[in-house]
Structure formats: structure tokens, C-alpha cells
């Protein structure tokens, strides 16, 4: 579901479908879900009845005026429905591409020791299947045995396959993906119809979209304003009659439609749907609109160092010999210890030696035995055939290893190690038996642009906290280079939960990323938890967002999208309420100035006649909705800034603009309408 798949969302076919949906949504059972527009529909129906049965209503208004009002109101409804249909259509375009990857397929179900071929629809949670090269994974599951390369392009849009293996944080697999090499044994973790793809389809189609708390609060405000203006219009008729002015029902309906907040009422649903759509365009699946909205209110962001702030692959940047050793001898033994080390760190040592022109005798390792790195020893190396043992690893671990064999610890070892740590690197000591030769300087580089991005977050009032398992010196250096506000060194899973709870206790909203089972509690605790698609089932179940590209730094984009959603809703609400002011000056003076000439003072737009003023305001009220659809779908241009600056900007641009634009628009429309009348 890459963002290229949404480019056809506004194609001719999609627009035709949106037009059809606009008429289908006129069903009162659908319209009542939007009370503001339902009132407009009720008024439209009343005017239609007056056209069809004029004698029944004994209306004094001309038939032409009534027909004009009816069609303007009808188009107001259609434009509002069209905005929502366009937003939904973008989601349906994404869903259709996902449905192509969801198909009934055969599965090799393991029953005891026998393998039975069954339909994927017959699989249940807990069943075990075997998936071989070239076969599709029949459902969501977890690899319990084996290792395989899996093509996830149907889900993520990325062509490069990913490695899935039993155990660890990369064991979960998604139904509809294909095994491109080797064989794995998978235990199903979902029932039919409840898979990851099924949930994605339902969410992006909008079938399960629920209104967010802020959206509900705004809807309540709009309903309250509608009720207030309904009461005002109903009581206006007897007041006008007392003054000798007979206000026809179509005029009262036109007044009501112009007074109530129809603009934001017609666009509110589209804004919410489009907000979720923007998240999915970034290949992030939001489990609810509430999660997207919460991202816009984030105050604190918890970020892992490795893979998020830094590239994650520590590479040999330099070799520093200790007293009594030469760079040549250190380079040789560092290379010997890395000959069979397939980790990025091990390969980088050999690359460094090659680039520096350092030679080593690879024959020394012939017949030797490679010692793999273990969490308990924190070292790796070679046991040579001649009995010598070469080790490289954490400085304190190698120091203890050398001391245990009666070796002396060089006096400058600690200083060299601290210097490397202060520079943001990781020191690895190299020793042969009881002699220390020096330290490898591993450097994990901060990703380009991270400092600028954290500066932007700071402008938005968001505090950034880096979590890392590195020692405090290394953590402090990386934190300073990246520009984060705070850091936690030697962090454990419980430390992440503790800092999240501490920030939430202060009334702050917290976001974090994670991919492992040990991250699941913290992801569940955070207000916005972004799990990696490559991570474990537990992590994805605990989070309220899943990044299909498994890019931990994408949490920054998610927060930006959440901010943009709130900005768009606030901006269009400000504009909608502000442009009602101009409509008051168009309609109210036009209604009363014939009986009360003094009301002409309020006719500052100098509109042609009472009828042209009413129709002009009503036409503007209708056409402003489609004109704002692109802004509602695309969102207000996002610029990082504090809340106070954002409020001032919105009031100036959309508040003042919302007052000025209708004055100009209604006056221009009035020129044409007055000539017609």
C-alpha cells in the first residue's frame, strides 16, 4: 500500500463514483448523521413541496425565486456529500489494491507429523503451517521454526524482501506475503476475517471510522449553533409580522441556511477521513482516527537511539593502540578476530584495515575456531590452532578476561575508552591471551537532518527524549549531536514505561516507537504507540499505529500529520464562522430595510435588491464548500510553531480572510443575480 497507489484517487472514475455517492447520501437516514446538513435537507424538502403544491402553502413568493432557492440548497447538499465521497474514495482506492492481495489460497497445515493441504479459510488461530519458497503465507502468524526471505511488497509497496526468523523481534509474518527463499514453520495468530489485511481494508475504507473526541466536541458546538439559529429564525417571523413585514418561508429557510455553520458542517467529516488517508499515504496504519488526532496533541516523544536517531550500524572509524603496542600489531589482531565475524562491526574492521593499507596474515586463523559473541561474555574472537586466543569486545569485559590470565592493564586504556565514548563512539578492546593491544573506535552516525527535525519539534513545543542502552558518556554525546532535549542511558524496558508514566502524570501526551515484545507494555502505555511492521505480534497488538515500512523515525511525520489535521479543522472552522459575519450583512439588511429604512446603513455591500442579496448569499454559501474541498483533503500547509503563534496565524489568515472573502464573493455574485432578477 505505497503512496503511489493513491495517485489515482482523483481519476475520472473516482470523480464519477463520488458524484453518484453524493446523490446516494441524500438519503435522510444517512444525512441525519450530520445534523447541520440534515437541517439544510429539511429546508430543501420544504421548498420543493412549496414548488409542487403552491396552493397548499399559499406562498406569495415568485415561483422562479422558490425554484432558485431549491436548486441552490440542493447543490449545497450535493457539494457537502461530494466532499465526503471524495475523501472516502481515496480510502477505497487504497482498499481495492489491498483486496487484490487477499485471496483464498491453499495452505500446508501441520497435523501431528503429517502435512495436510487445506484452504486458508479453514485455518484457525493456533494452527501450524509450513510455507516453502514461492508459496504465499496463508494468514497472519509467527515464525516458530526456520528462516526465510519474505516479499512484503503487497503490503508495504517495497520490493526488497525482508528476513523473517523464529525468535527475536522479526518473527511475525502477514497473510498475503510471499516466501521467496527457504522454508518456515508458522503458527497462525488470527482467525479468518480478522487478519491484518482485513483490518487494514476496513480502516482505510472508513467503514469503522469513529469520530474523535475533538470532532465530537466540534459537532456538538455546530449542533448547538444550529439549534440557536433555528430558534432565532422561527421567532423572527412574528417579529417581522409585527413590523409589517411578511417573510416568506423560502426566505426564512435561506436565512437559516446562511446563519448556521454549513461550511464546516459540510466539510467536517471529509477533514477527518482525509486525516487518516494522509497517514496511510505514509504507509502507516492508524487503528483509529483518535490515534491520528492524539498525535497532533503530543507533548513528549520517546525515541530509540539505534536505527531512529542514528543509522544503527556501528562501523570501525579508527584504531587506537595502547601504550607498548603499535598500530600495525593492533590492526593485525583486530582483523584476525574479525575474519569470521559476519556482523556489520566485524566486516567494518576488515574494510578499515584494507583502506588503511594494513596487512595481516589470514593464515593464522586457519584451523582456528571462531568464538561467537554472547550477551554473557560480551566478547567474540578466535581460538587459534597454535593455542593463542584472540578477543575483541566491551572494554570492561576484555579487561576482566586479560586480568583473569594474569595480564597487566595498560594505564591509558581507560582514558582512550572514555575519549571514544565522549566522542559518541563505542570502544571495543582487542587482546591476545594476557596482553591488551588497543581499542577499536566504533562510530554510530547520527542521521542527516535529525538535528533540524528536533529543532522543529521544539518549536512545536514537543520535548524529545532519547532512550539507549549505551553508557552515559556515549549517550550524552549522541544526544548533544542530535539535539534531543533529554536522554536515558543504559535504558531497560521498564525505564521506558517509567518515563512515559512520569510525563503523563504531568498531564502530557506521549508518543513512542518500538518493535519488540519487550516494547509492548510501553507502546500500550503511550498515547501514541507506533509499532514496526517487522516487529513482533505483541508489539503490533499493543500499539495504535503500525508503520508498514518499519522506519522508527517516521513517528516524526505521524506527529506532523496529526498537527496538520488539527490545524486544518481549526482553520476551516475559523473560516466558516467568520464568513457568516458577511452573510449577516447581506441578508438581514435586505430583509428589513424596505420597512425600516434605517437598516440600510448595515447594507455596506450596497447589494442590488433584497431578493438578489438573499440569493447571492445563498449561492456563495453553496459554492464555498467545493472551493474548500482541496484544502480539506490536502490539509492546511504545515509549519512547525508554538500554539500561540498558530492561533494568531489562523485568526489572521482564516479569521480575517473568512470575513473579507464573502464580502467580495457575494458582491460579485450579486452583480449577476441582480441583472437576472
Q: Does residue 136 register a pLDDT over 80?
A: yes
Q: Do 472 and 411 share a structural domain?
A: no
Residue 559 domain-assigned (yes or no): no
Percentage of residues in the chain having pLDDT higher than 70: 87
Q: Does residue 207 register a pLDDT over 50?
A: no
Q: Do 420 and 516 share a structural domain?
A: no
Q: Up-side HSE of residue 485: CA atoms within 13 Å toward CB?
A: 16
Query: pLDDT tens across 220-254, in order?
Result: 888 998 999 899 888 887 887 777 777 788 888 98
Dihedral sign of CA atoms 659, 663, 666, 668 in order:
negative
Residue 7 domain-assigned (yes or no): no
Residue ranges for the binding site? 341, 345, 373-380, 392, 515, 519
Strand boundaries in 218-351, DSSP class E: 284-286, 300-304, 315-321
Query: pLDDT tens across 314-335, in order?
Result: 788 899 999 889 999 999 999 9
- Last residue of one domain, picked from the residues 398, 414, 445: 445
Residue 123 C-alpha cell reads as 485455518
Q: Do the beta carbons of residue 280 and residue 565 sit within 8 Å?
A: no
Residue ranges for the binding site for ATP? 341, 345, 373-380, 392
Q: Does residue 345 register a pLDDT over 50?
A: yes
Q: Do the beta carbons of residue 530 and residue 555 sit within 8 Å?
A: yes
Q: Work out the pLDDT band at 439, boundaries 50, 70, 90.
A: very high
Q: Do 213 and 189 share a structural domain?
A: no
Query: pLDDT tens across 253-293, in order?
Result: 988 898 888 989 888 888 877 777 788 777 787 777 778 88
The predicted model gives 141-169 an average pLDDT of 76
Total number of domains in the chain: 4
Residue ranges for the binding site for Mg(2+)? 515, 519
Q: Do 220 and 152 share a structural domain?
A: no
Give pLDDT, residue 204: 57
CATH code of the domain covering residue 491 = 3.40.50.1000
Kindly report the pTM of this predicted structure. Answer: 0.66
Among this protein's residues, is 580 annotated catalytic?
Answer: no
**Residue in the structure block whose three cell numbers are 457537502:** 80
Query: pLDDT tens across 358-381, in order?
Result: 888 888 888 889 988 886 788 999
Q: Do 407 and 330 share a structural domain?
A: yes
Give pLDDT, residue 3: 42
Strand boundaries in 322-477, DSSP class E: 369-371, 379-383, 389-394, 425-432, 435-443, 463-467
Query: pLDDT tens across 5-31, in order?
Result: 444 445 677 788 888 989 999 999 989
CA 54 – CA 31 distance, rounded (Å): 26
Neighbours of 42 (CB within 10 A): 14
Instruction: Give the chain's mean pLDDT.
Output: 82
Query: Do β-strands 545-547 and 284-286 pair in parallel, antiparallel, or remain unpaired?
Result: antiparallel
Q: Do 34 and 136 share a structural domain?
A: no
Q: Do 390 and 361 share a structural domain?
A: yes
Lowest mean pLDDT among 48-52, 171-175, 196-200, 356-360: 196-200
Q: Which domain holds residue 512?
A: 287-309+447-548
Q: Do 216 and 67 share a structural domain?
A: yes
Query: pLDDT tens across 556-590, in order?
Result: 888 888 888 888 888 888 898 888 877 877 777 76
Query: pLDDT tens across 582-613, in order?
Result: 787 777 776 666 556 666 666 677 777 778 88
Q: Do 210 and 82 share a structural domain?
A: yes
Residue 160 domain-assigned (yes or no): yes
Give pLDDT, residue 432: 93
Residue 5 domain-assigned (yes or no): no
* Active-site position among 304, 470, 547, 670: 304
Q: Do 213 and 84 share a structural domain?
A: yes
Class of residue 29 by CB neighbours under 10 A (exposed 0-12, middle 13-18, buried 19+): exposed
Class of residue 447 by CB neighbours under 10 A (exposed 0-12, middle 13-18, buried 19+): middle
Q: Do 472 and 410 share a structural domain?
A: no
CA 209 – CA 206 distance, rounded (Å): 5
| Of 513, 558, 559, 557, nearest in space to 533 by CA | 513
Residue 590 domain-assigned (yes or no): yes
CATH code of the domain covering residue 196 = 2.70.150.10
Q: Does residue 664 register a pLDDT over 80?
A: yes
Percentage of residues in the chain having pLDDT higher than 90: 21
Q: Do 480 and 570 share a structural domain?
A: no
- Last residue of one domain, picked from the residues 519, 548, 577: 548
CA 33 – CA 173 distance, rounded (Å): 39
| Of 184, 146, 152, 147, nearest in space to 163 by CA | 147
The predicted model gives 178-203 an average pLDDT of 78
Amino acid at each position: 500500500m505505497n503512496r503511489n497507489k493513491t495517485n489515482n484517487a482523483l481519476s475520472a472514475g473516482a470523480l464519477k463514483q463520488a458524484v453518484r455517492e453524493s446523490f446516494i447520501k441524500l438519503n435522510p437516514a444517512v444525512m441525519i448523521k450530520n445534523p447541520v446538513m440534515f437541517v439544510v435537507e429539511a429546508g430543501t424538502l420544504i421548498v420543493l413541496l412549496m414548488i409542487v403544491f403552491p396552493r397548499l402553502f399559499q406562498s406569495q413568493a415568485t415561483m422562479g425565486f422558490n425554484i432558485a432557492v431549491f436548486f441552490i440548497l440542493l447543490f449545497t447538499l450535493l457539494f457537502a456529500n461530494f466532499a465526503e465521497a471524495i475523501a472516502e474514495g481515496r480510502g477505497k482506492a487504497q482498499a481495492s489494491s489491498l483486496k487484490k492481495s487477499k485471496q483464498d489460497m491453499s495452505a500446508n497445515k501441520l497435523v501431528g507429523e503429517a502435512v495436510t493441504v487445506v484452504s486458508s479459510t479453514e485455518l484457525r488461530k493456533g494452527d501450524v503451517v509450513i510455507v516453502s519458497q514461492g508459496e504465499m503465507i496463508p494468514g497472519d502468524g509467527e515464525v516458530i521454526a526456520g528462516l526465510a526471505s519474505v516479499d512484503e511488497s503487497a503490503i508495504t509497496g517495497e520490493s526488497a524482501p525482508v528476513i523473517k526468523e523464529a525468535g527475536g523481534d522479526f518473527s511475525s509474518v502477514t497473510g498475503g506475503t510471499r516466501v521467496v527463499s527457504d522454508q518456515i514453520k508458522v503458527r497462525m495468530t488470527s482467525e479468518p476475517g480478522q487478519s491484518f489485511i482485513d483490518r487494514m481494508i476496513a480502516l482505510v475504507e472508513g467503514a469503522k471510522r469513529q469520530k474523535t473526541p475533538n470532532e465530537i466536541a466540534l459537532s456538538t458546538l455546530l449542533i448547538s449553533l444550529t439549534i440557536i439559529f433555528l430558534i432565532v429564525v422561527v421567532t423572527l417571523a412574528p417579529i417581522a409580522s409585527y413590523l409589517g413585514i411578511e417573510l416568506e418561508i423560502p426566505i426564512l429557510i435561506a436565512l437559516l441556511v446562511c446563519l448556521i455553520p454549513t461550511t464546516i458542517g459540510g466539510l467536517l467529516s471529509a477533514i477527518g477521513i482525509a486525516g487518516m488517508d494522509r497517514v496511510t499515504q505514509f504507509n502507516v496504519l492508524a487503528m483509529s482516527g483518535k490515534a491520528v488526532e492524539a498525535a497532533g496533541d503530543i507533548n513528549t516523544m520517546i525515541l530509540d537511539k539505534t536505527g531512529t536517531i542514528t543509522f544503527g550500524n556501528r562501523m570501525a572509524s579508527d584504531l587506537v593502540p595502547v601504550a607498548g603496542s603499535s598500530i600495525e600489531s593492533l590492526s593485525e589482531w583486530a582483523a584476525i578476530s574479525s575474519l569470521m565475524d559476519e556482523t556489520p562491526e566485524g566486516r567494518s574492521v576488515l574494510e578499515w584495515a584494507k583502506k588503511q593499507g594494513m596487512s595481516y596474515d589470514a593464515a593464522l586463523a586457519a584451523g582456528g575456531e571462531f568464538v561467537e559473541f554472547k550477551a554473557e561474555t560480551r566478547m567474540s574472537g578466535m581460538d587459534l590452532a597454535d593455542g593463542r586466543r584472540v578477543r575483541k569486545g566491551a572494554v570492561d569485559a576484555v579487561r576482566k578476561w586479560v586480568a583473569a590470565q594474569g595480564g597487566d592493564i595498560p594505564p591509558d586504556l581507560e582514558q582512550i575508552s572514555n575519549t571514544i565514548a565522549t566522542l559518541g563512539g563505542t570502544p571495543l578492546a582487542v587482546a591476545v591471551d594476557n596482553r591488551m593491544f588497543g581499542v577499536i573506535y566504533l562510530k554510530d552516525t547520527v542521521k542527516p537532518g535529525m538535528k533540524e527535525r528536533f529543532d522543529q519539534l521544539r518549536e512545536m513545543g514537543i520535548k524529545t527524549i532519547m532512550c539507549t542502552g549505551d553508557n552515559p558518556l556515549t549517550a550524552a554525546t549522541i544526544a548533544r549531536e542530535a539535539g534531543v532535549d533529554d536522554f536515558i542511558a543504559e535504558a531497560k524496558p521498564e525505564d521506558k514505561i517509567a518515563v512515559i508514566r512520569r510525563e503523563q502524570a504531568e498531564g502530557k501526551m506521549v508518543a513512542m516507537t518500538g518493535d519488540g515484545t519487550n516494547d509492548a507494555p510501553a507502546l500500550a502505555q503511550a498515547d501514541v504507540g507506533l509499532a514496526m511492521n517487522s516487529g513482533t505480534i505483541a508489539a503490533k497488538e499493543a500499539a495504535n499505529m503500525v508503520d508498514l515500512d518499519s522506519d522508527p523515525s517516521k513517528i516524526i511525520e505521524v506527529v506532523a500529520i496529526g498537527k496538520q489535521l488539527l490545524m486544518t479543522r481549526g482553520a476551516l472552522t475559523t473560516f466558516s464562522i467568520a464568513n457568516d459575519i458577511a452573510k449577516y450583512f447581506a441578508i438581514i439588511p435586505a430583509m428589513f430595510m424596505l420597512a425600516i429604512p434605517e437598516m440600510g446603513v448595515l447594507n455596506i455591500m450596497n447589494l442590488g435588491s433584497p431578493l438578489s442579496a438573499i440569493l447571492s448569499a445563498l449561492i456563495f454559501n453553496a459554492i464555498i464548500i467545493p472551493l474548500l474541498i482541496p484544502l480539506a483533503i490536502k490539509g492546511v500547509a504545515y509549519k512547525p510553531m508554538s500554539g500561540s503563534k498558530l492561533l494568531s496565524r489562523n485568526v489572521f489568515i482564516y479569521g480575517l480572510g473568512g470575513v473579507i472573502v464573502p464580502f467580495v464573493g457575494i458582491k460579485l455574485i450579486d452583480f449577476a443575480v441582480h441583472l437576472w432578477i
